[in-house]
Every structure is written in C-alpha cells, then in structure tokens.
Structure 1
Amino acid sequence: MVVRWRPRSGEGRGAGRPPGLRERCEQRVRALGLPHAEALTVEDVCGHISRLHGRPIHLMALELPVGSPDGLWVSAENADYVIFERRLAPVHQQQVILHEIGHLVCDHEAAPVLSADSSRLLLPSLDPEMVRRTLGREHEHSEVEMEAELVGSLIGRHISSWTAQRPWSVPPEAQELAARLAALQSPTHRGRNE
C-alpha cells in the first residue's frame, strides 16, 4: 500500500523546477494516449488510466482531518484510491485528484518515516511495511511533488468538462479505509460537523 498526501493549496508553489522536468512530464502524459473526446472528464481520465494499468482507480471524497493535506493516493493490492477533501470547491477537488493521479502515473513511492521496530511499538496490530508506506510523504518542495503537480496539470489540459457539483461515494471495498481516515478527526471537530 502506498499513500501520498497532497499539500494544502499554496504550499510548494514557489520552488523552481529542476531542468528537464517539464519535458519528462510531457512525455509521461503523451505516453498515456488520452482520448480526444469532446467532453473528457476526470472520471474518463481515471477510467482510461485504470485500463492502462489493469487496476481500478476509485475516487473518494471524505472530510479529512483538520490540518491534513487536501488529498492522498492509496495504492492497495488490487486497486488505487484517490481520496480528497469533500469540502473543497469542485474545481479544486479535480486539481487535487489530478495531482494524486500524477503520483500514480509517475509511480512515486512514499518516503520512510518509521522503522519497523517503532511501528510495531506504536501500531502493533498493523503490518510495519504498510505503516511505513502509508505514513511516508515527501516534502512539498521536492521534485516528486513538482512532478506530480505538473503531470496533473498537463492531464488537466485534456479535461473539457469540469463538474460543478458531484456526489461522491465510497466503494464497498474501501469502507474500512474511509472509516479509519474519518477516525483521525478530533472529537471536537467531528462534533461541529455532525
């Protein structure tokens, strides 16, 4: 399982791009062979990339914990999940989704944050490798984050239909993941939204 958090808006925007980054990102997006449809949507892009990778991509809108990033990519054994903040404006949600899709397209890995021994002490019921990959994240100014943002933006140029409002559902196989993420909310914050 790989999880990538997307930084809050405005973070990581000031750093200059490394040489060759744009060309590399453009090549990755061209290699996708995105269809040239009159009304290509984010969902169409996810469907296309799902077919290329041979595994489904599920989009999940959740209320993420206060102070957390706007989105994350979870690569499970048989599917990919792009989780994004439900309370964002629809156009912002789509940019978050595209950023996370950028991580998927670039096959980015999470950075290690806990040793296996530390993980066993703190979270004894969870596999240490899964915890390491779940909690690992890159600094928002890193080349990995810039690459995901640029790939997402380049994919976004192919989108011809930006949904104003859309109801999002959680697939049955991701209910447990959604419940665990929802449990990260502080009790005070949850009480205000219920």
Structure 2
Amino acid sequence: MSAEGNDYVFFEQRLAPVHQQQVILHEFGHVICDHEAAAPVISPESSKILLPSLDPNMVRRALGREHSHAEAEIEAELVGSLIGRQISTWDVEHIRPVPPEAQELALRLSALENPASRGRDD
C-alpha cells in the first residue's frame, strides 16, 4: 500500500515465517518494479463516498492488483526471489557449533549420514 510517499507491506501473521518472507519479498518486487493496479477495483468517486478519509489513488493501488499469472505477478515473484537469495540466512548445509563433549558423537553420526567422510581424520 502506498500512502503519502511511503510504501507499506502487510502480511498475515499466522503464516509460517518462510511464507511471510515470500509474501513480503513478492510485495517488495511490486514496489521496486513500480507496478500499478491492472484495473480500477473502485472508482475515485466511489472511493471518496465509501472511504472518505483515504486517498482514492492509495485505495486503487492497495485493492486493485490482479493476483493471477499476470506478467506483473510473475515479475514481482522473480524480483522477490532474487532479493531473497541475496539476503537469506537459510542454508541447507548450515553447520551449527557442537559442544566439545558432543563432538565425537557428532562426528560418528555425520559419518553415518555421509559415507564418504568415513575414515577421514578431522
């Protein structure tokens, strides 16, 4: 949502964190690409009658996006994904610190997971 020169992104708090990030980055994609609403959902006149305290352009921009496979949606998803790749801290092979007392057990368990590491002295 754009209002008074500021852009706001809202998301459902009950979503899983990874889905929240996806939604937020997708919406950032719309902002970065300067996407406008595809078609007015509500006319400026109707907006003034129904929502007199809100700017009609802000209402159009907030409510007017088409959520389908439109080019703007695909572009926003791509831009959001590219941003996510640059800022993501999630890594499939994330290595967590192992306390000294558990290092021998962790090494033996790792060898079961990855047979190539067996017999290796680390």
Question: TM-score band, normalised by the shorter chain?
Answer: 0.5 to 0.7
CA distance, structure 2, for counterparts of residue 133 and residue 95 of structure 1: 20
1:101 to 20, 28, 31: 28
Q: Deviations over 1:39-79 (max 9, x none)?
A: xxxxxxxxxxxxxxxxxxxxxxxxxxxxxxxxxxx122242
Aligned counterpart for 1:131 among listed residues 42, 59, 66:
59
Residue deviations 1:127-163, cap 9 Å, x none? 433332332112411000010001111111112314x
Q: Which residue of 1 aligns with 2:80?
A: 152
Residue correspondences, number: 89
What TM-score do you get using the length of structure 2 for normalisation? 0.61
Shift of 1:124: 4.0
Partner residue in 2 for 1:122: 50
Q: Which residues of 2 match residues 2-151 of structure 1 at below 5 A?
A: 74-111=1-38, 112-151=40-79
| 1:110, distance to aligned residue in structure 2 (A) | 1.8
SS of the equivalent of 1:138 reads coil
Q: Distance in 1 between matches of 2:55 and 2:44?
A: 9
Higher normalized strand content (fraction of residues): 1
- Would the alpha carbon gap of residues 107 and 128 (structure 1) be closer, same or farther in structure 2, given more than 3 Å must change? closer
Distance 1:130 1:145 in 2: 19
**What is the alpha-carbon distance in structure 2 between the residues aligned to residue 80 and residue 123 of structure 1?**
19
Highest relative contact order (Cα 8 Å, sep 6+), 1 or 2?
A: 1
Q: CA deviation at 1:115?
A: 1.8
Unpaired runs of at least 5, structure 2: 91-122
Aligned partners of 1:157, 1:139: CA distance in 2, in Å? 23
Whichever residue aligns with residue 104 of structure 1, its letter is: V
- 1:126 is displaced (CA, Å) by 3.7
**TM-score (norm: length of structure 1):** 0.41
Change (3 A) 1:127 1:101: closer
